[in-house]
Structure 1
Amino acid sequence: MNYIQTMRKMIGHAPLLTVGCGVIIERGNQILLQHRTDADVWCIPGGVMELGEKVEDAARRETEEETGLTIGDLEFFGIYSGQEGFAKYASGDEVYSIQIIFKTSTFSGELLQKSDESRAHTFFDKHDLPDNLNSHQSRFIMDWVQQMPLPIIK
């Protein structure tokens, strides 16, 4: 049994503080997003840390589980917390998540299109993102968009 399942047995659906780790995977001016199976939203790969796990290891593990990709160098992108990290799931479980986000442009492997957690994976241009971004992740996805240099229009 994992940590969250253990805690849920003790506290039921009450809010739980979690630490999530995610990776912005870049390919030029594009970002890899996954279409979640549990909701009709797009997000970056990532998930919750396990007890004793390093944040970098959690980000790599979750990315590989969800995408099939092995991540190369990780660059720290940011830490996100606050009310925007609140989620209430269909089960009734509530969480406040602190998100530690990395980015990379080095990866290898065969991209999985479907997994238990995702319907599809697509690289989106920063100017053509889907409308239904995960509300808990749109902050750092849009921060990534604004950091990128704007294209030169001729």
Structure 2
Amino acid sequence: MGYIMDLRKNVGTRPLIMAGACVVVIHNNSILFEKRTDNGMWGLPGGSLEPGETMEQVARRELFEETGLQAKKLELLDVFSGQELYYKYPHGDEVYNVVAAYICEEFDGVINNDESEVAEIRFFELDEIPDNISPPDKPIIHAFLKKIVNLEQRLAAFSTRSQK
């Protein structure tokens, strides 16, 4: 059972501060999403911190458990928290998430869908990201896409300057 599930036995559905990690998996200009079974929305692979784990260990473990992929390299995107990471699960549990989001472009393995939390796993092109994104993942995806756009603008500006 997990740490959070054990806590739930004592606190019921009251809001918890839940630390965890997620992974933005990138392959051929596409992002890996999972269709969640609890809310029917698309989200990023990830989950909650267990006692003694580092955030990077959470990211690696959850990525493998939920997708079958093993991250070769993870890059920290950012740490997200605050009101926009509040979430009330369909069954009533409330959480304020604190999420370390990682980018993974190098991985091994074959995608498998043996996890009961996941209905479907697939890559979406960057310009075809689904609209029904799970609310706690929206700010993370937005920050990732902003990072890509800013990087492309900086690279374009550098290329223009270096050609002069």
- TM-score scaled by length of structure 1: 0.91
Q: CA deviation at 1:148?
A: 2.1
1:9 corresponds in structure 2 to 9
Question: Which residues in structure 2 correspond to 1:1-154 (within 5 Å)?
Answer: 1-113=1-113, 115-149=115-149
Which stretches in structure 2 are left out of the alignment for 5+ residues?
Answer: 157-164
Question: Which stretch of structure 1 is more off in the superposition, 4-13 or 17-26?
Answer: 4-13
Whether the 8 Å contact between 1:29 and 1:148 is mirrored in structure 2 is no
Mapped contact 1:76–1:102 kept (Cα < 8 A): yes
Instruction: Tell me how far apart the structure 2 counterparts of residues 39 and 12 of structure 1 sit (CA, whole Å).
Output: 20
What's the secondary structure of 2:10's corresponding residue? helix
Query: How many angstroms apart in 2 are the aligned matches of 1:114 and 1:120?
Result: 10
Q: Is the 8 A contact 1:60 1:71 kept in 2?
A: yes
Larger radius of gyration: 2
CA distance in 1: counterparts of 2:10 and 2:135, whole angstroms: 28
What is the CA–CA distance in structure 1 between the aligned matches of 2:59 and 2:19, rounded to whole Å?
A: 11
Question: Aligned AA for 1:2?
Answer: G
**Counterpart residue type for residue 10 of structure 1:** N
TM-score, normalisation: structure 2: 0.86
State the superposition RMSD in angstroms. 1.8
Distance 1:54 1:68 in 2: 20
Q: Determine helix, strand or coil for the equivalent of 2:128.
A: coil
Considering fraction of residues, name the structure with more helix: 2
Percent identical residues:
36
Q: Distance in 2 between matches of 1:79 and 1:86?
A: 14
In structure 1, list runs of 5 or more residues that go unmatched: none
